Structure 1
Amino acid sequence: MTEPLHRIALPTGVELDVQVAGSPDASPVILLHGFPESHRTWRHIVPDLARDHFVLAPDQRGYARSSKPAGVEEYKADRILADLLALADHFGIGRFTLVGHDWGGAIAWMAALQRPDRVSRLVIVNAPHPLVYQRAVFDDPEQRRASQYIRRFRDTSIDQGLTGTGLEKFLGSTFAQHVTRAIAGEDKAAYLDEWSQPGAMTAMLNWYRASGIIVPAPEEAPERPAWLDAAFPPVTQPTLVIWGMKDKALLPGQLQVLPAYVPHLTLTRVEDAGHFVPWEKPEAVLSAMRDWSI
């Protein structure tokens, strides 16, 4: 049975809908979804984790019926990280295991690097390490080509077409190509409902527009940022990375260099899943988590 959503007002100025499950006395786990989803990313994961954990799965700012502040700057990573920490504070949680997929994974990497006092353990699902990804976009022609969708999503002229039948087209042509099974029935209805909320598509796309990720055009030769070849701090937490190997947007070649930046790494490859592995192959994600002793 799906747990009801709790509406939580945070001191960061937003209200988030949050799925809350399990005993508050149990070890805390916070689950962060990515684009273009919601807490439903974890719908097959939460019930099992809640047996022995206190689980929070928010609809992050801009998504579903959570607050959608106006302006691209409202979706910068530091503001989203502040939401995460404020949510933990609201429930009196000090240190927690953090799980993130896609953009939720990007925030999870950032949280682990910047706030090791709060993030005790880290689980990443198809979300690239920030240095490894930015370097790949510069140095790997295949990854650069695969990342061109970010340039398209930063074009604000697309927003006006993402209503009504435009959302159906988005689901079929932009979203569905990154999954390994059909999006239909209850799943399709839920996505279209969430995306149809006033301002939702612009708010979700603003995550891309606020990001500092540099995505050159395929044949462009931009100046290389100095930080790409400078020292980069390691992730100190025990870290589990789960990767759907059929991901067409975030290519699995990046996994090869992860150990250099994540000393305490466990890597689980899910060969028969694409980018959205938490709901394509939830049993594989759960198995990896449990084997890792989450």
Structure 2
Amino acid sequence: MKQERIALSTGVTLNVATAGDPDGKPVILLHGFPESHRTWRGLAPLLDEFRLIMPDQRGFGASDKPDGVSAYTADCLVDDLDALSDALKIPRFALVGHDWGGAVAWAAALRGEPRIERLGIINSPHPLIFQRTLIEDPEQRMASQYMKLFSQAGMAEAIRRMGFEKFFEKSFAPHVDLSTIPDDERSTYVEQWSAEGAMEAMLNWYRAGRMVVPAPEERAQRPDWIDRDFPRMKLPIHIVWGMRDPALLPCQLEGLDELAANHQITRVEDAGHFIPWEKPEAVADALKPFLAAAEL
């Protein structure tokens, strides 16, 4: 991967990794928490016929880390995506997102961004289904309590006191065999998290989020918007899901017919949440023909 810092019209400078064929169909890939463009380290070589653009999103990796929760709202994050395509002069592209990157991808598509030709989603729930299940599904509600924890004041300092090595273990051990992560990758995570303001910026994604996560036994007030008419997306969508994900349960794949007119789902039974680097071959097998069909 090549890397360069690109100043955007939104006022932030993002570190952007690129790989693949510079003349190939452009694909922008958005990582999630608590990662960076390194999310795609195993997948990128398997998609080398495409022009791969992999930013560290604001607050992560070597990108700018603006202060304040308001700098991490969905609108700000989607605006960065639009500004990045402007800076790179990409009129149309396919968009792939994992975890929080998938949340940005869903938000961009729902906003009607005209440059997005198709959408690849990896273990990241549609916002309407996610909010409904947080209210209605006790198991999903319990699995999502970490979101409330990450939103609490003082959490960044608590993680620093814990130590980033311990945070690494707590972040990944429930999802993947830690022995499969090379030592140099572990060191990269710790180095990036140790940067000034990094943990605060990363956690601001949770603080700026609008999902209501009730306590396990709470009688939750139902947000009005989840029972209103919701736009049915016509964009081609391919969802790849590691079925062993303990944080985002299989209920996230239910009800998509009413929300996405042109979608397909690939379930990977022997993978968890971090499937892009746990099972990159399975992700590539699913996404490669889908991305190749893009009319770009």
TM-score, structure 1 as length reference? 0.95
- CA shift, 1:116, in A, is 4.1
Alignment of 1:61-100 (within 5 A): 61-100=58-97
Query: How many residues get paired?
Result: 291
Deviations along 1:71-106, one digit per CA (max 9) or x if unpaired, are: 011011100100111001111111110000000000
Q: Is it true that 1:139 corresponds to 2:113 in the alignment?
A: no
CA contact (8 A) 1:20 1:56 kept: yes
Deviations along 1:147-172, one digit per CA (max 9) or x if unpaired, are: 00000000122211323752111111
Identity %, equivalent residues: 52
> Which region of structure 1 is more displaced relative to structure 2, 269-278 or 162-171?
162-171
Alignment of 1:263-282 (within 5 A): 263-282=261-280
Match of 2:47 in 1: 49
Q: Is it true that 1:156 corresponds to 2:147 in the alignment?
A: no
CA contact (8 A) 2:169 2:178 kept: no
Structure 2 CA distance for partners of 1:180 and 1:232, relative to 1, 3 Å: farther
CA distance in 1, matches of 2:162, 2:187: 13
Deviations along 1:187-246, one digit per CA (max 9) or x if unpaired, are: 211111111111111100100000111101111113211111111101211100000000
Match of 1:117 in 2: 114
Match of 2:201 in 1: 203
- Compute the RMSD of aligned alpha carbons: 1.4
CA contact (8 A) 1:245 1:269 kept: yes
Match of 1:218 in 2: 216
Match of 2:183 in 1: 185
CA distance in 2, matches of 1:165, 1:72: 23
SS, match of residue 94 in structure 2: strand
SS, match of residue 242 in structure 1: strand
CA distance in 2, matches of 1:111, 1:251: 23
TM-score, structure 2 as length reference? 0.94
> Which of 30, 35, 38 is matched with 1:37 structurally?
35
Match of 1:236 in 2: 234
Structure 2 CA distance for partners of 1:157 and 1:8, relative to 1, 3 Å: same
CA distance in 2, matches of 1:269, 1:176: 22
Deviations along 1:6-45, one digit per CA (max 9) or x if unpaired, are: 1101111111110122344321100000000000101112
CA contact (8 A) 1:116 1:236 kept: no
CA distance in 2, matches of 1:122, 1:145: 29
Query: What is the letter of the counterpart of residue 155 of structure 2?
Result: I
CA distance in 2, matches of 1:44, 1:160: 32
Q: Is it true that 1:130 corresponds to 2:124 in the alignment?
A: no
Deviations along 1:102-133, one digit per CA (max 9) or x if unpaired, are: 00000001111112411110000000000000
CA distance in 2, matches of 1:206, 1:48: 32
Query: What is the letter of the counterpart of residue 252 of structure 2?
Result: Q
